[in-house]
Structure 1
Amino acid sequence: MKQNATPDGLKAGPSYEEEHFTEATRIPMWDPEVDDVLVCRQVRQETHDVKTFLFSAREPRVFRFYPGQHMTFELPVEGMITRSYTISSSAARPYRIEITVKRVPGGPGSNWMLDNMMPGKEVSVSGPTGEYTTDATQDEKLLFISAGSGITPMMSMVRTACDLAGPTDLHFIHAARTPADIIFRNELELLAAQNPALKLAFTCSTTSAHNSWMGYEGRLTLQMLSLMSPDFKQRKILCCGPARFMEGVRTMLQGVGFPMEMYHEESFDFGAETAGSFEDTIAAPEISNQTYRISFTKTGHVVECGPGMTILSAAREAGILPLASCQRGICGTCKSQLVSGVTDMQHGGGIRKREIDQGKILICCTTPMSDIEVEL
């Protein structure tokens, strides 16, 4: 280490900057296979029904994640449930994790988070994981389209881009119910003022006579899109929001001949309050040509599982509805214990190696290779 010279020629200790920089580099990385507890450090009210929760590890850890990825939380509701929430914070600020949660009427996970999570509380997590991401600092033209709490992955991408170098050429369109429901509105407007390459546009379904709203009104239409982003056909588009909203965006783009290989969306199951990722991230499972029997030990149900079917598909075909969300082995919601039998699991990161060693499986991406028993 470089030493500082003193007037009499003696060597002084390291400078303040050298000492603290060296100390910072000694902070261990967050290891998803080992680390599994986050501590809530701060809660921020974003809108009347949305809060942001800031977490860090018990001991200092450096988080490595890509903007757009998510983490899966184990929440003490009805015994224990798992919910996946997209990271909304900047990947360029690696010492903390933020998630932003909207209250879902009747949703056990979101309601527990908004009513009970507070500074000092600990929660078990897994991740980060997910493939829905892009590098907004690259020299390419991007268009983000989001609605409601689908703004969270986009916010992580925008924050990261602005922290690192500023977006090169980014248009960001967000749809909300009312002006008061626009999550991160003030911060986004500040980022746009500081980064000329970031162009914002908001549209609201309804507005109040008491609100001096000067933006777009109504559902997103092709005419509106053309005004918000005149060259949208030349942009890579990332979309996130409720299923009906994304379906509308897809239909609109297909109708004008948009090259759909340039369109990507994150599949959210808002009813289950979980977030998934890209749809083509899971390898095709090994397919057997036999039919096997699946016994669910808790409910006593026994179902037949045809060739190539996952445990989840077989259960649903028989009228059983286990808790599941992404259906691609990413979120971890359907994690279950395999009691006996042989299976083939092709997951996308929603389960740890040590959990696999303990006999746990994700039923959404697991096919039986023999008669099996599952703790469900």
Structure 2
Amino acid sequence: MRHVLTWTAVVPLASLAAWVWLLLGQGFFWRTDVRLPPVPAGGEPVDWPSVAVVVPARDEAEVLPLTLPTLLAQDYPGHAHILLVDDGSGDGTGALARELADRAPDGPPLTVLRPGEPEPGWTGKLWAVRHGIAHARSGTAEPELLLLTDADIAHEPDSLRRLVRGALAQRLDLVSQMARLRVRTGWERLIVPAFVYFFSQLYPFRWVNSPRARTAAAAGGCVLLRTQAAVRAGVPDSIRDAVIDDVTLGRAVKRSGGRIWLGLADGVSSVRPYVGLGPLWRMVSRSAYAQLLNNPVLLVATVLGLLVVYVVPPVWACAGSPVGGAAWLLMALSYVPTLRYYGQPLWRAPLLPVTAVLYLAMTVDSAVQHYQGRGAAWKGRTYS
């Protein structure tokens, strides 16, 4: 009996200690105030650098009418050129892009590229990015900056202008904004805010942005990159097989001596719909095990950690443990800023353990798919 009492006391104490440490010692990951700073009056550059906007796109005809016009409508004083790389689409993505560009004759020029199937060892997205960058650099005037943005990302008219100002003002080599994902359906409201919360827990933005910290990451939907920084880091060739390409890109640039910045977006959003649990499940499970380096030991440690940190507090609290209740309260409070960022009601904060269990199941399923040879499947391609 004494052994059982000791065990029931130690487990919730471990959960509470974990939450105290997470709140205070994990880079204040739960805060949502890491945004591009406003530029003071008179702080804009005299000469705006040229920008090549590279958009890898594979079967994106559904979302392109909502996103490409926002790039064609950018209020950017310098020269910008949009390169849409049609990665083997079968739905007329390339033709639709040209049609949308014809409707916006005053926008930046658009070029549609078709690089063909990726060579062995390349993921499709990075193969498309490689061809977009190569084409941008092949002209007589190499662009100073590269904007890598996904085909499902919509930009406010001043998005590019604000990104460039932030990069120049802080002398950054990479500026990345985590696009605001769609939260309209019930499943999106349950899972999407937690996706951003967990990402920032793994890669605290303040650590990413500190030159003294080793933590590095980026958000692949919106990355502004100096061309010379890309050359110095050897990207995308040096990361050609990366399934989690945005995090790997951030690491490559930071390791090569570049200064990087990652924050939440105000004028950049994803329009991709996730109707039902299935698409959201696939979004997470296709790369979750790769995040753990496809390592079964890390998988077991992650499962145990998630159980102790997210499941134990509500279970013990419902059993009458005040320590478990305190841990659950800290967990819910840490989730409140993310819910506010997404405009969600605060009563969802105590439901974070439910979402964590779903993410745990997605991670385990990702490992199962990996060992069945179906890991990292995306739009008809599977990567080892």
- TM-score normalised by length of structure 1: 0.30
- The structure with more radius of gyration: 1
User: In proportion to residue count, which structure has more helix?
Assistant: 2
- TM-score normalised by length of structure 2: 0.30
User: In proportion to residue count, which structure has more strand?
Assistant: 1
Q: Which has the higher contact order (CA 8 A, sep 6+)?
A: 2
